[in-house]
Structure 1
């Protein structure tokens, strides 16, 4: 794999996103990814597979396939653990599942605080507070982001994590966080792809020296099975992208990932297929022209697939917008 890393960090530009990788294959996928050359793994409590991902990481480290210091492991604080007293237990649970002593990056997953669910009662707690209720829904609680962030800072001071950051935050929330943070957020992870280019957010992060990781860099591919996206929205089938791909003898997916990298972001595509693992990593031997970059960016429709303002109401009986 190319040794190119993001900005001043050591985060490899292409990582493996572990959302929706099934538990029964996760350990094998992680070991195969390491064998192919992946060194960046994007995880989260809410993905429900950290223990299995951890099995794969532990096996690869134990058998000498990779050294821990050569890996970049990210995870995320779930919504129900935002209160200060729950932040450290949450990362300790994640570390135990991933079989690691520390994380390279820990992110606040959403700017959403919900009622605490004890680990022994249900883990991961997912979105519903009580899924067995007659009308299950989210149970928001009033926990200021400042309280959560100050607890995140303590994780860094204690050595449990090397970097801290946020996920699914916009400019206003980041600006507010910067007004009181003793340790500035080093990273932002957000949805970015040709249909959601978020130019102003990227420019603001560059201005504030906050590195950016793009999740769902291929667009709506991961959302078809959830009924959140339609295949007609796929930019992988767009003639502009297909023509550019043909010119470089690459796939449309590789063009998407290269576009994301050339914008100055890391990308974390998800796949469990060995041939796709190889394909997604093979994006460092070509470079898009300025005109091609503009053509791809012109596909922007501000189309956000991962939007709590939509899916929380349809899936979790709770209207919960965060971006508007």
Structure 2
């Protein structure tokens, strides 16, 4: 039995689905079901006895402690996080509560549980914390990619809260001996991605005939990682990662945001052409950049390949085609996640920005 937090969100749900597709070990899935947590992501597991879903907050120590005692997991994987930079700028307190206070309370509940385990179970137990490359700050166009030894220099409330959570996990290992592993991933993309993030937002807006909003000049560079490659990396770190170590997970795909959007437009032109014969790229609009927008992230994932033999299976070209096709094939999922509150958020974040 393993316990996963945040397992109804984008990366967490993909991990749970991949985990149960590849082995029979059961999953206790804990998710608060905020705006980005979506039980529809897990619809294919309905009736599957290997999947136990519990709606709960990782900050609820009593509930987490009771679940640990009841199910006796050998692994806890922490995906639970507030994870959107723009939302953190408008409302940072939620990010502090979930990513900092929530991680602290989860660590304390796990530490108490781990301390009571018998010798063999205690020595084999693992706590894996899933984090982000944004904790490292920003890079110039010519600087080498982030390694695991790069200084933490977060520039947004989101990345600062994740950096704090990483430090807590490290401290609980060095102070209390808790057997932890940390992964810092680059930008994920793929199926089930909530459409406030760049790639799904562009797909959804393009198909709806809406503007495709690009911050600033669109030359912000990110390394893009297909979500199921990320899932396989986490499984490999669980299997063979060295306790207390951090592993960067990247896709070796540095792309500027504007190039990502143009690639999505070209795929949609091919797979779902506009009725007027024009390219979806005609819908691209430039909007005022967001505050503190990091210019470039890049992950050096050679440690993970060198020590654990992992590397991504997808190129960006194969992964982005699979992603666009998934959204075309699942219009009902897209419609269902576009609630009134989500539409209000998009209006607040993009429509009110002056075009440049």
* TM-score past 0.5 threshold: no
Q: Which has the larger radius of gyration?
A: 2
Higher strand share: 2
